[in-house]
């Protein structure tokens, strides 16, 4: 009995703290997440002074019933202060899950409580902290949650959530695989596009599509981090099909406005040999009334080494449909010159690790020159990626490179931004002023 609050029959603070300690321990041991909500009824003393203590007690009881109604059977609800409640939500997927419960509480409070013939409107502020994201000790978690609650009150917000510091955007315990399963469905994936510029004319020839994952609480998760995991877990398949459809739909809009622009899509290594890949791409092209000649598929050298012959014929089939093929990160793999002449490829993309310092590093400059000459000997175009300054642009042009891509021209940007970027594109100022350097 001593663990219950007499007025509401909920757990009291003491009992709640020992439940919280257990829940935190389990969450840490079993690598699951649990959320703590602290809920405070705002200006409660006003209810007491306007409607009387009896009404106040009735509201506290009704509020307890409301919280129990919002929570699941396994959750624990307590009254931990005069007008303060707390809830343990076990086994949540992420902070968003807990926010959902908080929003539900806020929504329920839109209808006033009845006391006799009076209607009493109550509002509350809710703090949310998740173990182990925000603390992995029950006392710290409670302190953290009470402090976000306090901050939310001052800022006049109904819900305050502990923030995850920027530098731990992706802590080790982040259940990335679990969250990844929902990323497509939750609309958390985005595509950014980075323009590709002809070093000959200075004009835009196309753009590369680059995947982004905007996680609701983790912020923008970089592809270098999540794509290898997606490849390992199989999540890459729905992601790539989502990407294909999104890119073909969005890039069809550009072509209507600016004429043909190639859009480059990164294709994961296993896809080339998947029996349904060719048809999936083709169907997406038709669905979005795009044109297969506007599509360039970027693959890395690693995709070809396992079964070169099968891969070559799969690539040739894609080319027969009108698409072009690019070898990405060229120079980092083990392409052998012996199979170079049968490589059904239209473009080589020089890895940015070589491009970055060609101005200062003679060895890399020689490698870049070698790749350019090799590509031209086999009728392929060459793209230099990671071009960050004008000196590199000038040198690449001197070495005979066809196309450049990099921060010097533009960073990857969302579809809406690239549409206006294309509209305004002359070239960066320095480029425009020194156009003689670039124009033939
Ligand atoms: P990548 O295919 O080599 O893409 C080029 C990367 O270089 C991009 O990084 C781009 O933002 C970055 N970059 C472009 N210009 C510059 C520059 O001037 N300086 C520097 N330092 N970096 C520059 P991002 O978008 O982070 O992508 C990283 C990698 O993730 C990509 O490398 C690619 O391997 C993979 N990736 C990105 N999007 C996709 C996708 O849609 N599908 C697959 N399978 N992989 C993707
Ligand atoms: Ca690429
Ligand atoms: Ca690359």
**b or e along 209-243 (b: 16 or more beta carbons within 10 Å of the residue's beta carbon)?**
bbbbbebebbeebeeeebbeebbeeebbbbbbbbb
Closest atom of ligand 1 to 223 CA is 30
Q: Is the pLDDT of residue 168 over 50?
A: no
What pLDDT does 171 receive? Answer: 53
pLDDT at 160: 94
Atom of ligand 1 nearest to the CA of 236: 44
7 is a domain residue = no
Domain that holds residue 230: 173-433
Going by C-beta distance under 8 Å and a sequence separation of 6 or more, which residues neighbour residue 193?
207, 208, 209, 210, 263, 412, 413, 414, 415, 418
Q: Are residues 149 and 201 in the same domain?
A: no
Q: What is the CATH number of the domain that holds 103?
A: 3.30.70.270
pLDDT grade for 167, boundaries at 50, 70 and 90: very low
Question: Cα 237 vs. chain centroid, distance in angstroms?
Answer: 16
Q: How does pLDDT run across 356-409, given as a tens digit for each residue?
A: 889 999 999 999 999 999 999 999 999 999 999 999 999 999 999 999 999 999
Q: Is the distance from the beta carbon of residue 388 to the nearest atom of ligand 1 less than 6 Å?
A: yes
pLDDT tens-place string over residues 221-277: 889 889 988 998 899 999 999 999 999 999 998 877 777 899 999 999 989 999 999
Q: What is the mean pLDDT of the chain?
A: 88
Ligand 1 atom closest to 329 (CA)? 3
Q: What is the predicted pLDDT for the residue at 31? A: 82
* 348 occurs within a structural domain: yes
Task: Give the C-alpha separation, 309 to 273, whole Å.
Answer: 11
| Whole-angstrom distance, CA of residue 54 vs CA of residue 48 | 8
Does residue 212 sit in the same domain as residue 272?
A: yes
Residue 428 has pLDDT above 60, yes or no: no
Residues in the chain: 440
Same domain, 181 and 153: no
Residue nearest to atom 42 of ligand 1 (CA): 266
329 lines ligand 1 (CB under 6 A): yes
Q: What is the CATH number of the domain that holds 370?
A: 3.20.20.450
- Does ligand 1 have an atom closer than 6 angstroms to the CB of 404? no
Ligand 1 contacts CB of residue 304 (under 6 A): no
pLDDT band at 432 (very low <50, low <70, confident <90, very high): very low
Q: pLDDT value at position 1?
A: 61
Q: Radius of gyration of the chain from Cα atoms? A: 29
Separation of alpha carbons 157 and 128, rounded Å: 13
Whether residue 356 has its Cβ less than 6 Å from ligand 1:
no
The separation between CA 105 and the C-alpha centre of its own chain, rounded to angstroms, equals 29
Q: Provide the number of structural domains found in the chain.
A: 2
Q: In angstroms, what is the span from residue 12 Cα to ligand 3's centroid? A: 58
98 and 71 share one domain: yes
pLDDT at residue number 302: 79
Residue 228 in contact with ligand 1 by CB distance below 6 A: no
The pLDDT assigned to 120 comes to: 93
Q: Kindly report, residue by residue over 309-348, the tens digit of the pLDDT.
A: 899 999 999 999 999 999 998 877 666 666 777 889 999 9
Q: What is the pTM of this model?
A: 0.64
| Maximum pairwise Cα distance, the chain | 91
Give the domain-ending residue among 168, 201, 223. 168
Residues with C-beta atoms within 5 A of ion ligand 2: 266, 298, 328
* H or E, element range at 363: helix 362-377
Our mutation pick for probing the ligand 1 site, out of 271, 385, 389, 409, counting the most ligand atoms within 8 A of Cβ, is: 385
Q: Is the CB of 412 under 6 A from ligand 1?
A: yes
Each residue of 169-207: pLDDT tens digit?
Answer: 455 556 788 888 889 988 999 999 999 999 998 889 999
| Mean pLDDT confidence for 21-39 | 92
d(CA 372, CA 349): 10
Same domain, residue pair 101 and 81: yes
377 alpha carbon – ligand 3 mean position (Å): 22
pLDDT surpassing 60 at residue 430: no
Q: Is the CB of 251 under 6 A from ligand 1?
A: no
Q: What's the pLDDT band for 43 if we cut at 50, 70, 90?
A: very high
For residue 388, how far is its CA from the centre of ligand 2 (angstroms)?
Answer: 16
Residue 192 Cα: closest atom of ligand 1: 25
């Amino acid at each position: 009995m001593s663990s219950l609050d007499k007025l509401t029959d909920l757990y009291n603070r003491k009992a709640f703290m020992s439940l919280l300690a257990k829940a935190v321990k389990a969450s840490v041991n079993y690598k699951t997440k649990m959320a703590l909500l602290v809920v405070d009824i705002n200006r409660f003393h006003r209810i007491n002074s306007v409607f009387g203590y009896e009404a106040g007690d009735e509201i506290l009881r009704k509020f307890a019933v409301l919280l129990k109604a919002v929570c699941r059977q396994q959750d624990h609800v307590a009254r931990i202060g005069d007008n303060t409640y707390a809830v343990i939500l076990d086994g949540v997927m992420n902070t968003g899950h807990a926010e959902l419960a908080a929003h539900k509480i806020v929504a329920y409070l839109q209808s006033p409580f009845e006391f006799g013939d009076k209607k009493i409107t109550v509002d509350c502020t809710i703090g949310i902290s998740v173990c182990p994201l925000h603390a992995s000790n029950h006392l710290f978690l409670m302190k953290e949650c009470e402090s976000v609650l306090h901050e939310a009150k001052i800022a006049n917000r109904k819900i305050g959530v502990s923030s995850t510091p920027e530098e731990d955007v992706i802590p080790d315990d982040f259940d990335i695989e679990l969250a990844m399963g929902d990323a497509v469905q939750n609309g958390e994936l985005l595509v950014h596009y980075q323009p590709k510029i002809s070093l000959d004319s200075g004009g835009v020839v196309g753009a590369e599509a680059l995947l982004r994952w905007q996680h609701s609480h983790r912020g923008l998760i970089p592809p270098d981090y999540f794509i290898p995991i997606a490849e390992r877990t199989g999540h890459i398949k729905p992601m790539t099909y989502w990407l294909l459809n999104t890119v073909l739909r969005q890039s069809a809009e550009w072509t209507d406005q600016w004429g043909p622009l190639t859009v480059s899509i990164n294709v994961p290594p296993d896809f080339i040999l998947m029996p349904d890949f060719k048809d999936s791409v083709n169907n997406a092209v038709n669905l979005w009334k795009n044109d297969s000649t506007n599509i360039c598929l970027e693959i890395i050298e690693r995709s070809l080494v396992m079964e070169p012959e099968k891969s070559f014929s799969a690539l040739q089939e894609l080319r027969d449909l009108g698409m072009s093929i690019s070898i990405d990160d060229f120079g980092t793999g083990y392409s052998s010159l012996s199979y170079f002449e049968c490589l059904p490829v239209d473009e080589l993309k020089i890895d940015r690790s070589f491009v970055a310092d060609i101005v200062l590093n003679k060895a890399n400059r020689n490698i870049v020159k070698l790749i350019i000459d090799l590509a031209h000997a086999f009728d392929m175009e060459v793209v230099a990626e990671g071009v960050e300054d004008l000196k590199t642009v000038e040198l690449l042009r001197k070495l005979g490179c066809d196309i450049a891509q990099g921060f010097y021209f533009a960073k990857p940007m969302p579809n809406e931004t690239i549409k206006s970027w294309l509209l305004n594109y002359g070239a960066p100022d320095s480029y425009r002023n020194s156009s003689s350097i670039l124009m033939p």
